[in-house]
Structure 1
Amino acid sequence: MDSGSMVYFLGTLWHGGGQNTSEMERKALNMQYCQPWLRPFENHILAVDWGKLGEIPLKVVDMMGYKIGMPFIGSVEGGSPLRAVTRRLKDYRSGIKRNTKL
């Protein structure tokens, strides 16, 4: 594809990429979405730095898995994953250590 081009495909498409034969780096952005009560192929809660969540629109953060699927699917510590992550990040930044069970 030419530089600046974009391609859309359904998630059910089987695909593969060819070797990059140019001398330039090839970058791609892969956005995926699934219902909050489904587990996505990639866990965005682990893949995206929690400290950057404030830079991402809340609607996108919700779609990354930080919103509860009603009634309680995906809840963490009795609330939304975003609330739990925000609390943990605040504790980390202030030096508070909580006892956690593994």
Structure 2
Amino acid sequence: MLTSVNMELLRALADPLRLRIVCLLARESLCTSHLVQETGARQTNLSNHLRVLREASVVATEPCGRFTYYKLDPEMFDDLSAFFGGLAESSREAANTKRPCG
């Protein structure tokens, strides 16, 4: 049985720059200046995107001196993976099921 998916999470990941940030953070924790370097985005733009990701519980922050590091919350992706895995399984099972017309 499929469970619901967090729509806020999907909206957060739908933006190309936010998805790029997530992919970068999947490899290592980074601060804003690292993300500016990696993406070429302006810091104010990045800060807005990071806020959206924080509000969707995709990333967590970790203060380190005068910097703030960002890291992914892997459990959010476990939930998303389970949802899409359920869709894949359901679609395999329903591949030859057709509702009659009429």
Which structure dedicates a bigger proportion of its chain to helix? 2
| Smaller-chain TM-score bracket | under 0.3
Which one has more relative contact order, counting CA pairs under 8 Å at least 6 apart?
A: 2
TM-score, normalisation: structure 2: 0.25
TM-score, normalisation: structure 1: 0.25
